[in-house]
Amino acid sequence: MSDEPEDEIVLSELDDGELVQQMHDDLYDGLRDEIEEAVHILLERGWTPYRVLTEALVEGMRIVGIDFRDGILFVPEVLMAANAMKGGMAILRPLLAETGAPQVGKMVIGTVKGDIHDIGKNLVSMMMEGAGFDVIDLGINNPVESYIDALAEHQPDILGMSALLTTTMPYMKVVIDALKEKGIRDNYIVLVGGAPLNEAFAESIGADAYCRDAAVAVETAKELIAERRRSNSAAMNVA
């Protein structure tokens, strides 16, 4: 027996289709080095950064998300996968900026005051970025002021808030009420998420939507932005 197992996969020897398939598997297994290597290979083969991002990374994470939702994968595996995707994104991000990938919209996101859970929020940030959103991540433990300052500075389409504690979820209402008071609530689409939340809660605090997971967040964000642009242009036509 040689040292090299016979079924050792050499990424550079796979054709494009096989390599992308392999990347989905490697993301699933949280293999960051392999993902980084494969991203480089596809770029060398002339793939655009945007295509690598969507077909290899985002699609791979979509599969991870489904198995997490269905209870097949657990938090550690999701974190490992996210970490592998992060490695790939770090290579692609500067290239995406250069090559002018499509820009879908802008989002400011952060975990609310008193809460320092950030795994879910980070995943949402990453998948939103992967879907073409410009994401400004405020991190954890955010008081009202830091949301309001960031909204003023970045003028996003969407404000996203995350909370994982029963004790911190009411703070989302504090933020939304502060926006109302300033008369700027309707300038933004407000999305909320985190395991203890649900649709009824989102409605009761005056958010636009609750999103169960990152995939739903991307879909909802796209829909609400399209809706908003339609109604804005309708308003323009009337005027």
Q: Using CB under 8 A, which of 23, 31, 52, 80 touches other proteins?
A: 80
Q: Using CB under 8 A, which of 11, 95, 136, 140 touches other proteins?
A: 140
Q: Give the H or E element holding residue 109.
A: strand 105-111
Residue 112 DSSP one-character state: B
Closest distance to ligand B12 from the beta carbon of 45 (Å)? 31
Nearer to other proteins, 39 or 169 (CB): 169
Residue 53 DSSP one-character state: I
Q: What are the DSSP calls for 54-80, one per residue?
A: IIIIIHHHHHHHHHHHTTSS-HHHHHH
Q: Give yes or no for residue 27 binding other proteins (CB under 8 A).
A: no
CB 37 within 8 A of CB 11: yes
Nearer to ligand B12, 88 or 194 (CB): 194
Residues of this chain that interact with ligand B12 (CB under 6 A) are: 75, 78, 109, 115-121, 123-124, 160-162, 164-166, 191-196, 211, 213-214, 217
Closest distance to ligand B12 from the beta carbon of 201 (Å)? 12
Q: How many CA atoms lie within 13 A of 125 on its CB side?
A: 21
Q: Using CB under 8 A, which of 12, 103, 155, 167 touches other proteins?
A: 167
Nearer to ligand B12, 142 or 162 (CB): 162
Residue 52 DSSP one-character state: I
What is the C-alpha to C-alpha distance for residues 51 and 53, in angstroms, rounded to an integer?
Answer: 5
Residues 6+ away with beta carbon under 8 Å from 153: none
List residues near other proteins by CB under 8 A: 30, 71, 74-77, 79-80, 83, 114-116, 118-119, 140-141, 164-167, 169, 195-198, 201
